[in-house]
Every structure is written in structure tokens, then in C-alpha cells.
């Protein structure tokens, strides 16, 4: 018997501020040829859990994702709203070129926001990533707010899963993993 997974979407945290310091984005699908296994897995998780992708491009030896995990003001939102993949050094330069992000080639760290279909939603240059202190953490999160995934209608998704399960003779498994 096959089980159908149904993910209930995470509640979106209320964030304040406007997005500034970002490059224009054409909202075209990124060509992710030879994508790393980490990126492919993260894109799949983003699709299943209704999240966005954050691709961090950093200098060799830098761990921006680790620093964000230690900052409570940032970590909770990032954990529930985004899948994060970090590339450093030459690998970061290669991804910056692949994602058409010239500013990331000049100065790191930089950030690219993708949806689960690998469409580039935003390119955020180094100057916008300064997150020292709670005021800057709020400003950083405000820059990400426009790129949060739209909440999924759980009733609609459940109804569709029940119809599919009835047609195929399978059961529906409901996961309650929202951050409330």
C-alpha cells in the first residue's frame, strides 16, 4: 500500500520593512546544469514543504548559514520558510555565473532566492546582508518577506489528496509540521 504525503504549510511570520538594495530580477528559470546533490535535495524539499530556496555565495572558509543559525532573530524564519544551500570560493563563483549574478562575483557574501521550480526571484548583493544586531536582523528579514512562499490552502490540498487516494485505492497521510 502506498501512502500519500500531505504537508500542512507553515504559518508565515509577520515581518516589517521594504525590500531594498536588490538587483532587478527577470523571474526566469535558472539553468541548473550539473546541480550539486545538495541543491537538488534542497529544491525537492522546498517543493514538498512549500518553501523557497536560499543559495548563499560566500568566500572560502566563511559560514554564513552557521552564523544565521546562532542568531535567534533570523534562524526561526529561515528554518521554516527557506531551504538553504551554501557555496564557497570557486564553487560560489561558478554558481554566481550560472545564476547571472555579477555582483556576487565582485563581493561576497551574496544571496539568491529561488522558488521550488528554480525560478530566480531575487539576487541580494553583499551590502544588503549585514546582520549584526537585532535591528539589522529585522531589516534583513524584511528584505526576504516579499519572497516567502504563498500559504497553501490546506482544505483544498486535503480534498485533492482524498480524491486522488480514492481513485487509486491508497490512503492519505497527514503531516502536521507547521511551526506553531
Cα separation of 76 and 87, whole Å?
21
Select from 91, 81, 178, 89 the least CA-distant residue to 121: 81
Task: Please indicate, yes or no, if residue 164 is contained in any of the structural domains.
Answer: no
Task: Please indicate, yes or no, if residue 156 is contained in any of the structural domains.
Answer: no
Average pLDDT over residues 147-173: 91
Better-predicted residue by pLDDT, 17 or 154: 154
The residues, any chain, with a CB within 8 Å of residue 41's CB and separated by 6 or more, are none
Q: Tell me how many domains the chain contains.
A: 1
Task: Please indicate, yes or no, if residue 56 is contained in any of the structural domains.
Answer: yes
Select from 120, 104, 12, 5 the least CA-distant residue to 62: 104
Least confident of 26-40, 47-61, 73-87, 157-171: 26-40
Task: Please indicate, yes or no, if residue 8 is contained in any of the structural domains.
Answer: no
Domain range holding 65? 16-149
CATH code for the domain in which residue 41 is found: 3.40.30.10
Q: What percent of the chain has pLDDT over 70?
A: 74
Q: Residue 179's CB: how many other CB atoms inside 10 A?
A: 12
Identify the pLDDT of residue 21: 41
Asked if 144 and 18 count as a contact pair (C-beta separation under 8 A), the reply is: no
Average pLDDT over residues 82-108: 86
Select from 51, 21, 55 the least CA-distant residue to 38: 55
Which CB contacts under 8 angstroms, 24+ apart, belong to 29-36? 29/117, 29/118, 29/119, 29/120, 30/98, 30/99, 30/100, 30/114, 30/118, 30/119, 30/120, 31/98, 32/98, 32/118, 33/98, 36/85, 36/87
**pTM, to two decimals:** 0.68
Q: How confident is the model at residue 109 (pLDDT cuts 50, 70, 90)?
A: confident
Task: Please indicate, yes or no, if residue 177 is contained in any of the structural domains.
Answer: no
Task: Please indicate, yes or no, if residue 72 is contained in any of the structural domains.
Answer: yes
Amino acid at each position: 500500500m502506498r501512502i500519500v504525503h500531505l504537508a500542512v504549510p507553515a504559518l508565515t511570520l509577520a515581518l516589517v520593512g521594504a525590500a531594498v538594495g536588490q538587483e532587478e530580477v527577470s523571474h526566469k528559470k535558472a539553468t541548473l546544469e550539473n546541480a550539486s546533490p545538495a541543491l537538488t535535495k534542497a529544491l525537492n524539499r522546498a517543493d514538498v514543504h512549500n518553501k523557497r530556496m536560499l543559495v548563499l555565495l560566500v568566500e572560502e572558509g566563511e559560514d554564513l548559514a552557521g552564523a544565521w543559525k546562532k542568531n535567534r532573530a533570523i534562524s526561526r524564519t529561515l528554518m521554516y520558510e527557506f531551504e538553504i544551500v551554501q557555496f564557497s570560493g570557486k564553487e560560489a563563483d561558478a554558481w554566481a555565473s550560472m545564476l547571472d549574478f555579477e555582483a556576487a562575483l565582485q563581493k561576497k557574501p551574496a544571496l539568491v532566492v529561488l522558488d521550488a521550480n528554480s525560478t530566480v526571484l531575487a539576487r541580494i548583493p553583499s551590502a544588503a546582508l549585514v546582520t549584526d544586531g537585532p535591528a539589522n536582523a529585522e531589516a534583513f528579514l524584511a528584505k526576504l518577506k516579499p519572497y516567502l512562499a504563498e500559504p497553501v490552502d490546506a482544505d483544498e490540498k486535503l480534498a485533492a489528496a482524498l480524491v486522488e487516494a480514492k481513485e487509486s485505492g491508497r490512503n492519505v497521510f497527514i503531516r502536521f509540521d507547521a511551526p506553531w
